[in-house]
Amino acid sequence: MGAALSPDMKNSRELLHAGLGGACGTALDVTTLVLLVHVGVAIPAAAFWGAAVGAVACFVLNKYVAFRDRSPITAHQLARFGTVAVATALLMAFAMKLVAVKLGVPVLPAKLLCAAAIFIFWTYPAQRRLVFRTVVAA
C-alpha cells in the first residue's frame, strides 16, 4: 500500500515546489518590472526584462528543486520550457481579458485567480510531462 502512495506523494511535493518556484518567479518578475519602471525604463522593456528574469528563476527552481532534474540543460529542454512559457503567457492574456475586462474583477485578484488556474491546469502538467520528463527517480 505504501508503494501505491509514493507517486502521489512525489506529485504533491513536485506540485508544491513548482508552485513555490512559480511564485518566486512571479515575485522576481513583478519586482524587476517595478524597479525598472521606477528608474525610467520604458514599460514594455521593463515588462520584457521582468518576464525574462522570472522565467529564468522559474526554470532553475523547477529543474533543480521541484522536479529534481540533475540532467544537463539542453537546447531542447530550454525550447520546451520556452514553448510552455509562451503558451502560459497567451493563456494568461486570454484569461485576464475574460476575468478582469469582461467580468470586471479587479486586476490583482484576477491575476492571482488566473495564475492559480493556469498553473494547476496547464503550467505544472506541461512542465512535468514536457520539460522535465526525463527525471530519474530519487
Look at residue 133 in the predicted model and tell me its pLDDT. 78
Contact between 18 and 63 (Cβ < 8 Å):
no
Interatomic CA distance for residues 52 and 35, integer angstroms:
14
Q: Which three cell numbers stand for residue 124?
A: 505544472
Interatomic CA distance for residues 30 and 49, integer angstroms:
10
Whole-model pTM? 0.75
Question: Over the stretch 68-122, which tens digit does the pLDDT of each residue have?
Answer: 999 999 999 999 999 999 898 888 888 888 998 899 998 878 888 988 899 999 9
